[in-house]
Chain A
């Protein structure tokens, strides 16, 4: 019998919410806004994707069409690699506006990814970019609490709560019923968006349908859990308020706390606890470390002097010009190895700082489910910082491979003796260029991202448990008058 009471309660709440013309209009307006943002996002995404595709092709063609050249010249001609966000950025913009999209790769120098959307925008970008994720994370919760702030307190004010109770519905049933009814209604904002996102992502033709489905199959339950929390909060606050207006005011307070104050506060704390170095400081220490461990440009550098002496001894010759291979190529190769290792070490230190800042944000999801869903949504849509780091890593791997490949070509194919003025230049055949493969950017797998950042998902599940406990407690203590 208890089940059917609960069912009645859920159905009643749901129907009441649907009956209001205002509520229906709000739902339609929210869905239209979502569609609009998906539409704009889709055209923006495909626009930049087609441009980048064009540029990628151009970069490859110019690389292949270089004439015969000295390999080291080619190493400085370098390569440009581009990043294009995952198509689900149509749904959740994540950090994409703040990430650089192009890196120039060249020998013995690690350039950074430049030209982010934010860097090219005015102040307006700081207000954020409109996306379905933003609506679903921030605006819909606000709507839910407006729909639900009176669900119980109003019935108590109208004395209908007592009547329901007299008819045999327990406090537990009332609370569960109201929450589930509100929750089912809140899904009306969410469920229709998902297939549209799927279609838009699929039409952009940059990711496989299996990948998109997998990501969405994480996304949907996560948002459902988040809404369950919001509905629980709304109804529990409503049940424990003295009047409708105090219920509304405290709910707005919670919303501000969760959406505006806590996220900013945590970010502020993270930056102050784990300060990151500036670019100039980073590059200065990097250069100093490289100089310390061997400077291939300094003729008197002890590290390279040792290599030279041992080589001269091994081949039993007096000068490097007599060696059977290109000596400066070898020096370059060694220099590249040293400087890359040092760079990667420094880069890792920087990433560790950013990682710690991120960790603090992730853990704040245990206090603030809005942050948990925000991080989780970015992870699931591949617009998080970890996914971006994989791009940087892939680019650096490619750069190192390119530089060392060209150094090898120099060692093997370039004569040790400098060409005379006007004589045949020291170059190698252009066939070599085509043989070197193009850069292939691979999206970070969502499972890898999640394994690396388990906290947001865990926080969401934990919040589910907290919700159930809160419902059970306030169900038993529900005051009827």
Chain B
């Protein structure tokens, strides 16, 4: 009997086409990821060369003026991109994976995003997570929506209930065949991705693969529950489609616009304005107060004095620059807090919406989420300070460009690592799956 169920399934051309559609979409998504990684690697390697070139040129032009050399030179900090990011590009297309900063004030430079075509960004990336979250459920729905109703509509249900001893078992077997088929496609795609993109088999990747599969399983259990109400095929399809549209579009979109409204990020504009005033005003003010504030922040430079009627010194100049950061620090922090709040709100919502949860989890594992970006921004700030504090005493004491070992000034890499939080990641799936299983089990007992 079971053998016939397999034959029945694989004879249906529509099912085979649906599986092939998933496979093709998945391959396209992996290709998108491959392109993304290649481009990213290209950008990073080129910027390393460019940094070297720029240092050489400036150190040659302005041999005797270290302050001027450092006015121009940008130091790049790379945000390490794991191979896994190819499968979930997340926000990495909007937030650059590498940023270059001079030792002038940071606020002016940190918001420079990478170039992107907003029309493309608005449509979103066709990455692997998109295929899992949006397209897999559709095929699952198409496979399952008429499992019972079709038999009823064709009039074979009665016959089946007479012939088969255990209808529930039969239905579960049908579902299992479908789950198996979808899982095989999923695994084939994962294997192709692993080999093609050379993704290391670490806990992150394992968690990633598992979350995707649990999401697939969750949709099967949801279908199992919906069809157990024994409505008509059209009604089942309608209900499942409404769920799909609801959780993929209506709820996240509504939440997004509400979050944007409740946490407006005006602080960013304010920070930009404050840093500009914070630095530029100092040209027209007395030098002492600026220097006092600077010494307060960095007491170790108190011995580099600036006289009120000195014409121009780099000490004063970089102290002024630093004022831009100091005076906008509060707004800048508030801006970061707002972003965190926005992100937090989405995470909470994710516990209720498995699709959102999957997107958030997978982008977290792939280090392409907001949290990673915020950590990177914090580390950029530290990087910037390290560079400043390294060069300040050299500039202030009037060293020339040749006294510095420039070969040490290579690309720096930020590595963000937080262990996989297994419980938080997988509990929402288990709860939903268990819930749908119990609900449908209850209904299934009363079959036929």
Which residues of A are in contact with B by a Cβ distance under 8 Å?
37, 40-41, 43-44, 47-48, 51-52, 55, 58-59, 62, 66-67, 69, 73, 76-78, 80, 82, 94-95, 97-102, 104, 111-112, 114-131, 134, 138-139, 142, 146, 244-245, 248-249, 252, 256, 260, 263-265, 267-268, 270-272, 275-282, 284, 297-298, 350, 353-354, 357-358, 361, 385, 388, 419, 421-422
Whether B179 sits at the interface, judged by CB under 8 Å, is: no
Identify which of residues 38-85 in chain B touch chain A, using a CB-to-CB cut-off of 8 Å. Answer: 39, 42-43, 46-47, 50, 61
- Bound CA–CA A420/B272 (angstroms): 35
The answer to whether A43 and B119 touch across the interface, beta carbons within 8 angstroms, is no
User: Which residues on A sit within 8 Å (CB–CB) of B241?
Assistant: 142, 252
Partner among B115, B153, B245, B266 whose Cβ is within 8 Å of the Cβ of A142: B245
A264-B124, A284-B46 as given contacts; A121 in contact with B273, CB under 8 Å:
no
Whether B187 sits at the interface, judged by CB under 8 Å, is: no
Partner among B232, B253, B272 whose Cβ is within 8 Å of the Cβ of A102: B272
A77-B280, A121-B260 as given contacts; A98 in contact with B122, CB under 8 Å:
yes
Whether B202 sits at the interface, judged by CB under 8 Å, is: no
A237 to chain B, nearest CB (A): 14
The answer to whether B46 and A248 touch across the interface, beta carbons within 8 angstroms, is no
The answer to whether A421 and B346 touch across the interface, beta carbons within 8 angstroms, is no
Q: Find the A residue at minimum CB distance from B29.
A: A268
The answer to whether B121 and A118 touch across the interface, beta carbons within 8 angstroms, is yes
- Bound CA–CA A115/B113 (angstroms): 8
Whether B448 sits at the interface, judged by CB under 8 Å, is: no
Whether B147 sits at the interface, judged by CB under 8 Å, is: no
Closest 10 pairs (CB-CB, A-B): A127-B252, A98-B118, A130-B253, A122-B343, A122-B370, A114-B111, A124-B346, A95-B118, A267-B123, A77-B280
Which residues of B are in contact with A by a Cβ distance under 8 Å?
28, 32, 35, 39, 42-43, 46-47, 50, 61, 90-91, 94-96, 98, 100, 108, 111-124, 126, 130, 134, 138, 142, 146, 153, 232-234, 237-238, 241, 245, 248-250, 252-261, 264-266, 268-270, 272-273, 276-277, 280, 283-284, 309-311, 335, 338-339, 342-343, 345-346, 349, 356, 359-360, 363, 369-370
User: Which residues on B sit within 8 Å (CB–CB) of A80?
Assistant: 272-273, 276
User: Which residues on A sit within 8 Å (CB–CB) of B118?
Assistant: 95, 98-99, 116, 385, 388
Q: Find the B residue at minimum CB distance from A298.
A: B61
Partner among A116, A276, A280, A385 whose Cβ is within 8 Å of the Cβ of B100: A280
B411 to chain A, nearest CB (A): 12
- Bound CA–CA A248/B100 (angstroms): 54
- Bound CA–CA A95/B123 (angstroms): 9
B296 to chain A, nearest CB (A): 25
A80-B276, A130-B253 as given contacts; A350 in contact with B115, CB under 8 Å:
yes
User: Which residues on A sit within 8 Å (CB–CB) of B310?
Assistant: 421
User: Which residues on A sit within 8 Å (CB–CB) of B260?
Assistant: 44, 97, 117, 121, 129
- Bound CA–CA A260/B114 (angstroms): 26
- Bound CA–CA A249/B115 (angstroms): 41
A427 to chain B, nearest CB (A): 9
Q: Find the A residue at minimum CB distance from B271.
A: A115
Of the candidates B121, B238, B335, the one having the most CB atoms from chain A within 10 angstroms of its own CB is B121
The answer to whether B50 and A123 touch across the interface, beta carbons within 8 angstroms, is no
Query: A245-B153, A256-B138, A358-B117 provided; 9 other pairs, C-beta below 8 A?
Result: A111-B112, A122-B370, A127-B253, A128-B122, A276-B115, A278-B42, A280-B100, A350-B115, A421-B310
The answer to whether A267 and B126 touch across the interface, beta carbons within 8 angstroms, is yes
A279-B115, A361-B119 as given contacts; A127 in contact with B248, CB under 8 Å:
yes
- Bound CA–CA A421/B324 (angstroms): 26
- Bound CA–CA A267/B32 (angstroms): 11
The answer to whether B273 and A115 touch across the interface, beta carbons within 8 angstroms, is no
User: Which residues on B sit within 8 Å (CB–CB) of A277?
Assistant: 115
A31 to chain B, nearest CB (A): 15
B46 to chain A, nearest CB (A): 6
- Bound CA–CA A270/B35 (angstroms): 13
Partner among A67, A123, A361 whose Cβ is within 8 Å of the Cβ of B90: A123
Provide 29 A-B residue pairs closer than 8 Å at the C-beta atoms, listed in order of the A residue. A48-B266, A67-B284, A73-B283, A95-B119, A112-B115, A115-B268, A120-B265, A120-B342, A122-B346, A122-B360, A123-B343, A124-B342, A125-B256, A126-B124, A130-B257, A245-B234, A245-B237, A249-B237, A263-B123, A267-B123, A267-B126, A272-B35, A275-B39, A276-B116, A277-B115, A278-B96, A278-B114, A361-B119, A385-B119
The answer to whether B284 and A281 touch across the interface, beta carbons within 8 angstroms, is no
User: Which residues on A sit within 8 Å (CB–CB) of B265?
Assistant: 115, 117, 120
Q: Find the B residue at minimum CB distance from A41.
A: B257
The answer to whether B115 and A127 touch across the interface, beta carbons within 8 angstroms, is no
B55 to chain A, nearest CB (A): 13
Q: Find the B residue at minimum CB distance from A43.
A: B261
User: Which residues on B sit within 8 Å (CB–CB) of A278?
Assistant: 39, 42-43, 96, 114-115
- Bound CA–CA A76/B317 (angstroms): 14
A-B contacts counted at CB < 8 A amount to 240
The answer to whether B360 and A123 touch across the interface, beta carbons within 8 angstroms, is yes
User: Which residues on B sit within 8 Å (CB–CB) of A272?
Assistant: 35
User: Which residues on A sit within 8 Å (CB–CB) of B237?
Assistant: 245, 248-249, 252
The answer to whether B46 and A281 touch across the interface, beta carbons within 8 angstroms, is yes
- Bound CA–CA A353/B117 (angstroms): 9
Of the candidates B98, B100, B238, B268, the one having the most CB atoms from chain A within 10 angstroms of its own CB is B268
- Bound CA–CA A114/B96 (angstroms): 13
- Bound CA–CA A353/B311 (angstroms): 48
The answer to whether B50 and A354 touch across the interface, beta carbons within 8 angstroms, is no
A104-B272, A114-B112, A130-B253 as given contacts; A121 in contact with B259, CB under 8 Å:
yes
Of the candidates A44, A278, A388, the one having the most CB atoms from chain B within 10 angstroms of its own CB is A278
Of the candidates A82, A122, A130, the one having the most CB atoms from chain B within 10 angstroms of its own CB is A122
Of the candidates A131, A256, A275, A353, the one having the most CB atoms from chain B within 10 angstroms of its own CB is A256
Of the candidates A130, A142, A275, the one having the most CB atoms from chain B within 10 angstroms of its own CB is A130
- Bound CA–CA A256/B141 (angstroms): 13
The answer to whether B272 and A357 touch across the interface, beta carbons within 8 angstroms, is no
Q: Find the B residue at minimum CB distance from A354.
A: B117
Q: Find the B residue at minimum CB distance from A37.
A: B257
A399 to chain B, nearest CB (A): 15
Q: Find the B residue at minimum CB distance from A94.
A: B122
Q: Find the B residue at minimum CB distance from A277.
A: B115
The answer to whether A124 and B113 touch across the interface, beta carbons within 8 angstroms, is no
User: Which residues on A sit within 8 Å (CB–CB) of B112?
Assistant: 111-112, 114, 279
- Bound CA–CA A95/B124 (angstroms): 12
The answer to whether A129 and B257 touch across the interface, beta carbons within 8 angstroms, is yes
A244-B234, A252-B241, A278-B114 as given contacts; A127 in contact with B256, CB under 8 Å:
yes
Partner among B119, B257, B270, B277 whose Cβ is within 8 Å of the Cβ of A354: B119
B339 to chain A, nearest CB (A): 6
User: Which residues on A sit within 8 Å (CB–CB) of B98?
Assistant: 280
A119 to chain B, nearest CB (A): 5
Partner among B50, B95, B254, B283 whose Cβ is within 8 Å of the Cβ of A69: B283
User: Which residues on B sit within 8 Å (CB–CB) of A43?
Assistant: 261
